[in-house]
Structures are given as C-alpha cells and as structure tokens.
Amino acid sequence: MTAGPLTPFVSPLVTDCAAVGVGAVCGALARHNIGRIATDKIASNPERFSHLTGWHTAGINVLGSFVLGGVFGSPVIDPAAAVNSNKIPPPTSSAAASKATTNAVRQFGLTPRQKLMVGVGFCGSFTTFSTFSVDVVNMVGKGQMGKAAAYVMTNNVGGVAAAAMGMMVARRLFGC
C-alpha cells in the first residue's frame, strides 16, 4: 500500500488567523518602537522638539495608509503561482527580454493570505484611530486649536492621499 497525498493538518482558517497574528505583532512592535523613539527624541531636547509631541501618530497613520493602499493595489495571485514565479526561462533576444520581463512582473503580487497578513494584521495594528482621537482631544483641551486642525487634516487628507499613492505605485509596479 502506498501513501496518498498529504492532507493539510491545519485548516485554512487557522492559517489565516496565524498570518493576521504575525502581521499584527510586527505592526504593533513597529508602532511601539516609532513611538518610543519619538518620545525619547522629544525628551532629549524638549525646548526644540516639544511642538512635535503626538505627530508620530500622524506619520504612522499616513505611512500605514500608503502600505494598505499598496496592498489593495497589488494583484491577487494564486499561492502556487507565487512558488513557481521564479521559473522563467532566460530570454534569447532583446525583444524577448522585454517580453519576458513584462511577463515576469505580471506574475508578481500578493496571495490572499499575504494580503491578510499585511493589510489586516500589520496595518491594522500599526495604524491607530483611537490614539489619533485622544491626541486631538488633548490638543483641543490645551487650547491648541490650530495644531489640532492641522493634525486632523494631516491624518485625514494625508492618509487618503497616501492610500491613493500606494495603490498607484502598486498598480504601476505590477502592471495592473
């Protein structure tokens, strides 16, 4: 008797949850470390940097919007295609080289699980609306209306613009 094909031991749901979890841990650690570095920098010279308090959250939200835009702008590829994408035969002429390069780029993208890991996991824990909201309330409470308005505009307009740019970059990169 010969052994048949191996069946997956772990269900796709568990694997998807693990992918989201890995992305979330990475996003949370990145956010924490950026916040820690910003706080340390401000504390090292408060007279010079105190006006920057809280702005790292806006930067994180805009950067996260760019990354998420890139994730959504990337084509969805089959996991089997991702494994076999490096098996492109070498071109024989410059015209063939151009076509082979174009075909190679079109084979790249993100698998559904990679989109979950980066989009839901990483970006979900990296960006934060709750911290943004508390920052705005604190600025308003201190009478810093101009700073609060600029902060709201940076997060909202900057975030939407960054998401659009991320999608545009991904679509150009992947030839979509």
DSSP-assigned letters across all residues of 27-49: HHHHHHHHHHHHHHHHHH-HHHH
Q: What is the mean pLDDT of residues 171-175?
A: 91
Residue 105's pLDDT is 46
Q: Could you give phi then psi for residue 83, rounded to 5 degrees? A: -70, -40
Q: Tell me the residue type at 35.
A: G
pLDDT digits (tens, 9 = 90+) for 88-139: 445 555 555 555 444 544 568 999 999 999 999 999 999 988 889 989 999 9
pLDDT for 8 equals 59
Report residue 142: phi and psi, to 5°.
-90, 5
Q: What is the mean pLDDT of residues 23-48?
A: 96
Taking CA atoms, 3 is separated from 7, 10, 32, 79, 142, in Å, by 11, 19, 48, 25, 71
Tokens of 14: 């568990």
pLDDT mean across residues, the chain: 86
Provide the pLDDT for residue 94: 57
Residue 3 is predicted with a pLDDT of 54
Under the banding of pLDDT at 50, 70 and 90, the label for residue 72 is very high
User: In the chain, how long is the greatest CA-to-CA distance?
Assistant: 79
